[in-house]
Amino acid sequence: MKTPIGDIAKLEGREVELAGWVHARRDHGKIIFVDLRDRGGLVQVVLNPAVLPQAQELRLEYVVNITGLVKPRPPAMVNERLPNGKYEVEAKRLEIVNAAAALPISVDTDGSEINEESRMKYRYLDLRRERMQRNLRLRHETAQFMRRYLTERGFIEIETPILTKTTPEGARDFLVPSRLQPGKFYALPQSPQQYKQLLMVAGFEKYFQLARCFRDEDPRADRAYGEFTQLDLEMSFVTQEDILQLAEDLFTKLVAAVFPEKRIAKSPWPRIPHKEAVAKYGSDKPDLRENKKDPDELAFAWVVDFPLFTEQTKEDFFHGSGAAKFAPSHHMFTAPHPEDVKLLDTDPTKVRGLQHDMVLNGYEVGGGSIRIHERAVQERVFDLIGFSEEQKQHFAHMLEAFTYGVPPHGGVAPGLDRFLFAVLGEKSIREVMAFPASAGGQTAVMDAPAEVDKKQLDELGLEIKKGHRV
């Protein structure tokens, strides 16, 4: 059984079986030193080529199996900076499992000196570097903490469909043609928004999932192209305050458990009305850190009291007709503040929405709201944003569900990628994702998107227009 390198410090005097990659090699003639690496770290291995002649063949990134004895290093060779710096393994047996060609990119640095195109092309090598291994381990620990926390509080994890229906929700959809129903298309979900509300209609009361979401939006440093992951949660019979307290407690405890070196600037988190945030900080996602050069300071805040609508004066992608005067500030399912419902008929621009944005160090890392649960109010919002009768039919299933007894409900959806990007202080959100799309929209390693065989298009009843551009 393979011994994890991370356990070496507990195994002095024991014979161990190690497996991993040659991270470094130093040939001192009669003795060859190798730093062996697995996902748990590094350990120095001492090989005698007179006993193990194949040791002379070893090169960087060779995959090997080694059996040897764990011994304390000579005092002069102790490296206090390394977890296994007091120990080494005296090799008794060596097996070269696989050779490795010279790597096209180095993996023993943090990668900042390598252009992104090369890092994305060889992502399976790029992920070997210590920083990327650490980032993805922290991503795993974050996800598992979220699951445990919510499960202990009565939430049920429920998966919602990836193949769903295109609806006008703001961003461009990714469309998937149907073979069984020619001429019709699925859409990949921009979020599970409608499904989670229908789960509240179904009576589950507390739902969550780590949901994959898909939006055809231009990438930027804090937004990946194509797909991302969010912690999606929804609750019935709650107030906005209930949601904020739950999410604040979850992330406060998460930081303490997974990122103990980090310090939350203020607790409880500041609550800032949207109007005040814009007036005072010039942004609805203000960076409230006292020392913006301190990478371990986390300044969480809630921005609340957003306007339910923004004025819409020109045709845009959202409604396509140019007829609407208003667009939803968050999304069309956000409930108006109870005190402002009457203004829907007189002055919609003054209506506050029960929306809440989670802000961290100048980034919006999550958003949510109390949802509309009354059909008449939902139809009024559709009218105000200029939906035609045809567009309303996209949501006929929601409007019908709202006639069968809908509990008041709401939720929040922190972005897993966005949160990790902010808390780790990375320069790009792609640094916390295993196989992200590049800034140009190509999926790492796979060279997607790609052309497909004409037979596949024929099965779907599709034809590519020559020279087509959007």
Contacts of 341 (CB under 8 A, 6+ apart): 351, 377
Last residue within a domain, chosen from 414, 433, 464 = 414
The answer to whether residues 336 and 211 belong to one domain is yes
Q: Which domain holds residue 243?
A: 142-163+189-414
In the chain, what is the straight-line distance between the N-terminal and C-terminal CA atoms, in Å?
Answer: 56
Q: Any idea what the Cα angle at residue 266 is, between residues 262 and 270, rounded to 5°?
A: 130
- Over residues 61-80, the pLDDT tens digits come to 999 999 999 999 999 999 99
The reply to whether 146 and 65 lie within a common domain is no
Render pLDDT for 177-200 as a digit per residue (tens, 0 to 9): 999 999 999 999 999 999 999 999
- With cut-offs at 50, 70 and 90, classify the pLDDT of residue 313: low
Classify residue 207: in a domain, yes or no: yes
Residues 193 and 331 placed together within one structural domain of the fold: yes
**Which domain-ending residue is among 98, 129, 152?**
98
- Looking at the fold, whether 93 and 159 belong to one and the same domain comes out as no
Query: Which of 69, 98, 127 is where one domain is finished?
Result: 98
- The yes-or-no verdict on residue 414 having pLDDT over 50 is yes
| DSSP structural state of residue 330 | S
CATH at residue 63:
2.40.50.140
Helix, strand and coil content of the chain, in percent to the nearest 5, comes to 30, 25, 45
User: What 3-state DSSP class applies to 309?
Assistant: strand
Q: Evaluate if pTM is beyond 0.85.
A: yes
Largest CA distance in the chain: 91
pLDDT at 215 over 80: yes
Helix, strand or coil, per DSSP, at residue 119: helix
Confidence of residue 278 (pLDDT cuts 50, 70, 90): very high
Distances (CA, A) of 160 to 195, 365, 435: 7, 22, 23
Give domain status of residue 176, yes or no. no
Q: Is the pLDDT of residue 113 over 50?
A: yes
Task: Read off the tokens for 115.
Answer: 């252009």
Q: Which two tokens stand for residue 351?
A: 């209506």
Rounded CA-CA distance 20/66 in Å is 9
Residues 227, 215: Cα–Cα separation, whole Å: 6
Cβ-based neighbours of 50, under 8 Å, separated by 6 or more: 30
| Closest to 191 measured CA to CA, from 211, 219, 163, 177 | 211
Query: For residue 292, how many other CB atoms are within 10 A of its CB?
Result: 12
| C-alpha–C-alpha distance, residues 181 and 304, integer Å | 44
Q: At what angle do helices 240-258 and 130-152 cross, to 10 degrees?
A: 140
Count of domains for the chain: 2
* Strand residues in 270-311 grouped as ranges (E): 271-273, 297-298, 300-304, 309-311
Inter-helix orientation angle 416-424/130-152, to 10° = 130
pLDDT (tens digit per residue) in 347-369: 998 999 999 999 999 999 999 99
Q: What are phi and psi of 80, to 5 degrees?
A: -65, -15
